[in-house]
Structures are given as C-alpha cells and as structure tokens.
Structure 1
Amino acid sequence: MQGDPEVIEFLNEQLTAELTAINQYFLHAKMQDNFGWTKLAKYTRAESFDEMKHAEILTDRILFLEGLPNYQRLFHVRIGQTVTEMFQADRQVEVEAIDRLKRGAEVMRAKGDITSANIFEDILADEEHHIDYLDTQLELVEKLGEPLYIAQLIEQPSEA
C-alpha cells in the first residue's frame, strides 16, 4: 500500500528518535549497573527494550506503506555522568518525542491514515508514562539529595 510521503517522513523521524533512545538508555543502563545502581539499571534497560519495540512497530509500518526505514541516522545521544544528568537527558528525549508524536498523529489523521495515527498515539501513551516516571525520579533526587537517592538503588548480591 503506497503511503503518503509526509506520513512516511514522520514515521522515519520517530524511528530515528527511537533508535537514538535505544542507544542512550542502553548505555545509561550499562553505566548504572557499573556504578552499582542495579535497580535503576534494570528499569533503564527495560526502557531501552521498550524503545526497540517501538522501532520495530514503526519499521513494519514504514515497510507496509512501501517506504524505506532509515536506520542510517541517529539524533544526538545525550549521556549523563550523574543520576540527575541521566534523568535530565532521558527526559529531553521524551519531551521531543511527545511533541513529534502529537504533531505526527495530527498530520496523519488529516491525511486519513488512521492506522499510523493510532500507532503514534500508542507510542505517545508509553512516552508520557516514561516522562512521568522521570519527573518523579527528578523530584525524589531533589528532595532526598543524590547520595540518599542512590543509596536506595543499590542491591546486594545474593549469597552463593
């Protein structure tokens, strides 16, 4: 089925964002694990995998619309050095995604591509959930301070 070029461009732009987020979240998860913040690392790794699922859905839709998924570009990967910087960097990715998804869904509906609009709206719901989580974590860091916040992220290995 031949898709509208503007719709395919929005799908590809969001695909680029998802591919960027996969890398950013995965590296943050690896850094968090290396720092000993194992609980946070597990959550962040799962977020990276969620972004991979979004990328798969977008890839399938682009191919269905006879477009070519663009896996050759990434947006700027923002890597934090502290837990606060990581949350802020991840939050910025989500803010940009939410704006793009809202604009894209509106264009898709106007062009009569309800399925693509629904895909964007489903991803939007996931991104809104993630930004809510990040906002909560940033508020906790602000209230508790980084050292106390980080203390609750540490898991001791189980005895062998």
Structure 2
Amino acid sequence: MQGDPEVIEFLNEQLTAELTAINQYFLHAKMQENFGWTKLAKYTRAESFDEMKHAEVLTDRILFLEGLPNYQRLFHVRVGQTVTEMFQADRQIEVEAIDRLKRGIEVMRNKGDITSANIFESILADEEHHIDYLDTQLELVEKLGEALYIAQLIEQPES
C-alpha cells in the first residue's frame, strides 16, 4: 500500500528518535550497572527494550506503506554522568518525542491514515508514562539528595 510521503517522513523521524533512545537508555543502563545501581539499571534496560519494540512497529509500518526505514541516522545521544543528569537527558528525549508524536498524529489524521495515527498514539501513551516516571525520580532526587536516592538503588548480589 503506497503511503503518503509526509506520513512516512514522520514515521522515519520517530524511528530515528526510537533508535537514539535505545542507544541512550542502553548506555545509561550499562553505566548504572557499573556504578552498582542494579535496580535502576534493570529498569533503564527494560526502557531500552521498550523503545526497541516501538522501533519494530514503526519499521513494519514504514515497510507496509512502501517506504524505506532509515536506520542510518541518529539524533544526538545525551550521556549523563550522574543519576540526575541521566534522568534529565532521558527526560529531554521524551519531551522531544511527545512533541513529534502529537504533530504526527495531527498530520496523519488529516491525511486519513488512522492506522499510523493509532501507532503514534500508542507510542505517545508509553512516552507519557516514561516522562511521568522520570519526573517522579527527579523529584525524589531533589527531596532526598542524590546520595540517599542512590542508596535505594543498590541491590546485593546473590551468593
């Protein structure tokens, strides 16, 4: 089925964002694991895999619309050095995604591509949930201080 070029471009732009998020979250998860923040590392790794699922759905839709998924480009990967910086970097990628998804939904609905709009709405719901999580974590860091917050992330390895 031949898709609208503007819709395919929105799908590809979001695909780029998802591929970027996969890398950013995965790197943050590995850093968190290295720092001993095992609970946070598990959560962040799962977020990376969730973004991979989004990338898969977008890839399938682009191919269905006879477009070519662009796996050649990434947006800037923001790497935090502290837990606060990591949360802020991850939050920024979500803010940008939410804006893009809302614009895409409007364009897709106006062009009559309800299926693509529904895909974007599903991803939007996930991103809104993630930004809510990040906002909560940033509030906790602010209230508790980074040291006490991090103390809650440590998990002793099984013997």
Whole-angstrom CA distance in 1 between matches of 2:147 and 2:20: 29
**1:98 aligned partner:** 98
Q: CA deviation at 1:126?
A: 0.1
Per-residue CA deviation, residues 58-100 of structure 1 (Å, 9 max, x unaligned), is: 0000000000000000000000000000000000000000000
How many Å separate the matches in 2 of 1:2 and 1:19? 24
TM-aligned CA deviation for residue 2 of structure 1: 0.1
Identical residues among aligned pairs (%): 94
Partner Cα separation in structure 2 for residue 22 and residue 50 of structure 1: 8
Unaligned runs of 5+ in 2: none
| Count of aligned residue pairs for this structure pair | 159
CA distance in 2, matches of 1:54, 1:123: 7
Shift of 1:108: 0.0
Q: Find runs of 4+ consecutive structure 1 residues off by over 6 angstroms.
A: none
What are the superposed Cα offsets for residues 121-154 of structure 1, whole Å, 9 maximum, x if unpaired?
0000000000000000000000000000000000
Cα distance in structure 2, aligned partners of 1:41 and 1:106: 35
What is aligned with 2:43? 43
Secondary structure of the structure 1 residue equivalent to 2:68: coil
Deviation at 1:45, TM superposition (A): 0.1
d(CA) in 2 for partners of 1:93 and 1:106? 20
Cα RMSD after superposing both structures: 0.4
Q: Measure, in 2, the Cα distance between the counterparts of 1:66 and 1:21.
A: 25
Displacement of 1:53 after TM fit?
A: 0.1
Using structure 1 for the length normalisation, give the TM-score: 0.99
CA positional deviation for 1:40: 0.1
